[in-house]
Amino acid sequence: MQKDSYHTIKHPIEGLYKEKGSKFLAYAWPVQNEEEITRHIEDLKKRYHDARHHCYAWELGVDGMNFRMNDDGEPSGTAGKPILGQIHSHELTNILVVVVRYFGGVKLGTGGLIQAYKSATADALEKAGKVEFTIDKSFTIRFAYDLMNPVMRVVDEEGLKVEEQIFEADCRLTLSVRESKYGALVDRFQQTYGIDLLKAED
């Protein structure tokens, strides 16, 4: 079954890791689209324009297919990948994490860099509160006015969100339901009350 809920962080959060003079400043944001992501990254680069690296990873959606990693000049696989690994370890999505590095004069090596970016990200995410969101589906039904009471009883029992309503001789309701419940709910309206589904929207 396709996932119809996800966890992200409640609000922007910061983390910090220090090693051999280098500072790794982690910043995490809940995000909804790539435009937000680009804006946060650009703003942070302006804010920390004197930093050597601005490495990041982000993920959107619930299918695990929409993500990016960027090492921003660090050796390949030492920054973006451990950042994304922490996002996955905390089971989060719709999130951006950027780690800003100030070089302390001592090279950390591949293993040291991986540990540093992992630890900075973990410090931020472990302090962040999680919040769950559901993926909902909207649909519109049409029914006779004398079915108003049973229809509204279903709306109440299922905890449906009413997005739009027209109560006349020919009534219409646009409702929103968690995606996993959509099929059973439509069947209930159609089989129990003979109600037509006018349209469905993601």
- pLDDT tens digits, 88-98: 999 999 999 99
The pLDDT tens digits for 107-117 are 999 999 999 99
Mind listing the domains of the chain with CATH numbers?
5-133 (3.30.230.30), 135-201 (3.30.70.260)
Question: 197 falls in which pLDDT band (50, 70, 90)?
Answer: confident
Amino acid identity, position 121? T
3-state class percentages of the chain: helix first, strand second, coil last, to nearest 5:
35, 40, 25
Could you give the CA distance from residue 166 to residue 181 in angstroms, rounded to a whole number? Answer: 24
Prediction pTM value: 0.80
